[in-house]
């Protein structure tokens, strides 16, 4: 398969291949509806939603239960029909405790009256599409959960974007949810891409898919054939191909300047799963109340499940037959970027990309001294010197670490992966960034 230019650096985690094998050729399965959902009010980038239901109230599926606050925010909808039994707090995968609404499922799946098929989609304006994305609570499904409507609204940008960069690369080892969405729902994804193109006012969309998913590339090419302006590009399978800045470079050759957003390279980046959700929102009026979650690793039957937002993680573990022996680490998200969590007692959120039960392979050896081999520098897609930043941070020289470019670190983890001395280089960059952000800005 023809591949194009790609970014410099990156790594080939050896598990990219065999980690995905367990789930990549299996159909997405609809998870059983949970008896109870715990829906977090903060599961997107920006301000948390504010709960607008009361205990005892009956809610319909798709009904707004949390209203967006401010410009960068997203509303939250009921993922089941039933009765609100508690307005409380819950702990989400990041470890934060956030307000949440608990709904007891009546198993009637009674859609809210606001959810209805939309006719005359062609007549919608760009603003209409962005407005639908906002009211349906669509957020980036790739992990950052940035409200999609904010991205789609390009009316305030001085330099109008000209390219929609669609992320289907799924470079994380183990995760295959985007892969399956592209294979099974290519038409819906392409429809979402067309809608996003219209909303952002661009005439050209480039879909980047790593070449280790030839079936997804083919399905997307078939679905996009005859559609004006959509190009499906097979990219070399190399982590972190699917990061905004690397993907933009691989697909367009443009470099996003340090500290700038993709708009500086005249690009809008959107994930394939988000495109599918956007299509459902526009065509069917469906708010974002479910998502595909890869549940894999040391579980009995690894699979991709379509899960209602708010479903307890424990329910999913039951559906895949439980954990198997030798589980040492629970990871929410991908093996490279995900959070290690202490418990299975977590609700599914909009950005819950996957669950991995990892064994001894996820336990790192003790750190030893840096041997100055330069592997971290070669692995860094941002071309930083992670070992240097690491030493500065360990010596408490945070200003030095910032001067060495720590703020440009995307925390992809490639340096730590590549380090033969097993040093926690990425963590040092995180520390430097956190300390820099906590300091008051110099005037």
Partner 1 sequence: MSKYVISSSPHLRDNVTTARIMQDVCIALLPAAVAGVLFFGYRSAVILALSVAAAVLSEWLYCKASHTRNTIGDFSAVVTGMLLAMNLPSTVPYWMPVIGSVIAILLCKMIFGGIGQNFINPALAARAILALSWASLMNTFAKPAFGSFVGVDAVASATPIGATVAGDYTLTQLFLGNIPGTIGETCKLALLIGAAYLFVRKVISWHIPVAFIGTFTVCYLLATGFDVNATLYQVLSGGLILGAFFMATDYSSSPATGKGKIVFGIGCGLLLFVFRFCKKTPAEWCSYAILLMNVCSPLIERVTGHKSFGEVKK
**Nearest distance, CB of residue 101 and partner 1, angstroms:** 26
| Contact call for residue 316 and partner 1 (CB under 8 A) | no
**Whether the Cβ atoms of residue 150 and residue 191 lie closer than 8 Å to each other:** no
What CA–CA distance (Å, rounded) separates 181 from 272? 8
| Contact call for residue 418 and partner 1 (CB under 8 A) | yes
Q: Which of 27, 120, 343, 438 binds partner 1 (CB under 8 A)?
A: 343
**Nearest distance, CB of residue 348 and partner 1, angstroms:** 19
Q: Which of 134, 182, 292, 335 binds partner 1 (CB under 8 A)?
A: 335
Q: Which of 107, 116, 258, 434 binds partner 1 (CB under 8 A)?
A: 258
Dihedral (Cα; 194, 198, 199, 204), 10-degree rounding: 80
**Whether the Cβ atoms of residue 92 and residue 119 lie closer than 8 Å to each other:** no
Q: Which x/- pattern over 220-249 shows residues binding partner 1 (rule: CB under 8 A)?
A: -------------------------x---x
Measured from the CB atom, the residue of 244 and 290 that comes closer to partner 1 is 244
| Contact call for residue 338 and partner 1 (CB under 8 A) | yes
Which residues, numbered 39-58, are part of the site for partner 1 (CB under 8 A)? none
**Whether the Cβ atoms of residue 406 and residue 258 lie closer than 8 Å to each other:** no
What are the Cα distances from residue 221, in Å, to 24, 126, 164, 216, 280? 19, 25, 16, 8, 21
| Contact call for residue 430 and partner 1 (CB under 8 A) | yes
What CA–CA distance (Å, rounded) separates 413 from 238? 13
**Nearest distance, CB of residue 272 and partner 1, angstroms:** 23
Measured from the CB atom, the residue of 9 and 192 that comes closer to partner 1 is 9
| Contact call for residue 365 and partner 1 (CB under 8 A) | yes
- Cα 42 to its chain centre, rounded Å, is 15
**Nearest distance, CB of residue 418 and partner 1, angstroms:** 5
| Contact call for residue 328 and partner 1 (CB under 8 A) | yes
Give which of 139, 74, 145, 143 is closest to 339, Cα–Cα.
Answer: 143
Phi, psi at residue 292, to the nearest 5°? -95, 130
| Contact call for residue 117 and partner 1 (CB under 8 A) | no
Instruction: Give the distance between the most distant pair of CA atoms in the chain.
Output: 64
> What is the side-by-side order of every strand in the sheet holding 82-91?
36-40, 97-105, 82-91, 58-59
434 token code pair: 């956190």
Q: Which of 278, 356, 393, 402 binds partner 1 (CB under 8 A)?
A: 356
Measured from the CB atom, the residue of 123 and 365 that comes closer to partner 1 is 365
| Contact call for residue 346 and partner 1 (CB under 8 A) | no
Strands 163-167 and 204-210: parallel
What are the Cα distances from residue 334, in Å, to 19, 47, 116, 123, 386? 11, 25, 35, 39, 21
Q: Which of 129, 382, 402, 432 binds partner 1 (CB under 8 A)?
A: 382
**Nearest distance, CB of residue 320 and partner 1, angstroms:** 17
**Nearest distance, CB of residue 12 and partner 1, angstroms:** 9
| Contact call for residue 123 and partner 1 (CB under 8 A) | no
What CA–CA distance (Å, rounded) separates 182 from 219? 7
Q: How many CA atoms lie within 13 A of 338 on its CB side?
A: 26
| Contact call for residue 405 and partner 1 (CB under 8 A) | yes
Q: Which of 282, 346, 358, 392 binds partner 1 (CB under 8 A)?
A: 358
Question: With contacts defined by CB under 8 A, how many residues of the chain interact with partner 1?
Answer: 69
Q: Which residues pair with 166 in a beta bridge?
A: 207, 270
Measured from the CB atom, the residue of 64 and 341 that comes closer to partner 1 is 341
Phi, psi at residue 139, to the nearest 5°? -130, 165
Strands 50-51 and 64-67: antiparallel
Q: Which x/- pattern over 59-88 shows residues binding partner 1 (rule: CB under 8 A)?
A: ------------------------------
Instruction: Choose the stretch contacting partner 1; rule: CB under 8 A; options: 132-140, 279-287, 336-344, 435-443.
Output: 336-344
**Nearest distance, CB of residue 417 and partner 1, angstroms:** 5
What CA–CA distance (Å, rounded) separates 28 from 206? 25
| Contact call for residue 395 and partner 1 (CB under 8 A) | no
Q: Which of 96, 116, 160, 260 binds partner 1 (CB under 8 A)?
A: 260
160 token code pair: 């109008």
Phi, psi at residue 251, to the nearest 5°? -90, -30
Binding interface with partner 1 (CB under 8 A): 7-9, 11, 13-15, 173, 245, 249, 255-260, 327-331, 333, 335-343, 356, 358, 361-365, 368-375, 377, 381-385, 387, 405, 408, 411, 413-414, 416-422, 424, 426-427, 430
């Amino acid at each position: 398969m023809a591949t194009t230019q790609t970014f410099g650096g990156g790594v080939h985690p050896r598990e990219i291949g065999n980690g995905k094998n367990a789930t990549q050729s299996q159909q997405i399965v609809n998870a059983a509806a949970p008896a109870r959902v715990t829906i977090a009010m903060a599961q997107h980038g920006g301000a948390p939603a504010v709960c607008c239901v009361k205990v005892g109230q009956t809610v319909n599926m798709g009904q707004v239960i949390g209203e967006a606050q401010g410009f960068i925010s997203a509303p939250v909808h009921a993922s089941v029909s039933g009765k609100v039994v508690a307005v409380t707090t819950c702990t989400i995968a990041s470890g934060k405790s956030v307000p949440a609404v608990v709904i007891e499922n009546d198993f009637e799946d009674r859609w809210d009256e606001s959810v209805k098929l939309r006719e005359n989609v062609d007549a919608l304006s760009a603003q209409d599409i962005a407005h639908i994305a906002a009211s349906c609570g669509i957020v980036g499904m790739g992990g950052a959960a940035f409200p999609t409507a904010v991205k789609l609204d390009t009316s305030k940008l001085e330099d109008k974007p000209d390219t929609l960069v669609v992320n289907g690369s799924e470079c994380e080892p183990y995760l295959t949810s985007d892969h399956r969405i592209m294979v099974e729902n290519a038409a819906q994804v392409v429809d979402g891409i067309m809608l996003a193109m219209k909303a952002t006012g661009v005439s050209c969309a480039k879909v980047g898919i790593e070449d280790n998913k030839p079936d997804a590339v083919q399905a997307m090419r078939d679905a996009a054939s005859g559609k004006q302006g959509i190009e499906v590009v097979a990219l070399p399978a190399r982590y972190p191909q699917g990061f905004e800045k690397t993907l933009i470079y691989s697909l367009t050759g443009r470099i996003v300047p340090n500290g700038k957003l993709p708009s500086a390279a005249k690009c809008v980046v959107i994930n394939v799963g988000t495109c599918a959700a956007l299509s459902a929102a526009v065509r069917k009026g469906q708010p974002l109340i479910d998502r595909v979650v890869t549940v894999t690793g040391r579980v009995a039957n690894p699979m991709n499940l379509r899960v209602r937002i708010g479903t307890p993680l424990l329910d999913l573990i039951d559906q895949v037959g439980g954990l198997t022996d030798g589980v040492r680490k629970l990871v929410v998200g991908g093996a490279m970027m995900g959070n290690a969590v202490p418990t299975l007692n977590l609700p599914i959120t909009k950005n819950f990309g996957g669950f991995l039960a990892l064994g001894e392979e996820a336990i790192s050896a003790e750190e030893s001294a840096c041997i100055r081999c330069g592997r971290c520098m070669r692995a860094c897609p941002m071309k930083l010197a992670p070992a240097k930043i690491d030493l500065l941070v360990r010596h408490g020289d945070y200003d030095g670490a910032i001067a060495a470019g720590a703020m440009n670190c995307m925390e992809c983890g490639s340096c730590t992966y590549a380090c033969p001395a097993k040093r926690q280089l990425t963590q040092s960059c995180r520390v430097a960034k956190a300390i820099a952000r906590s300091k008051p800005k110099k005037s």
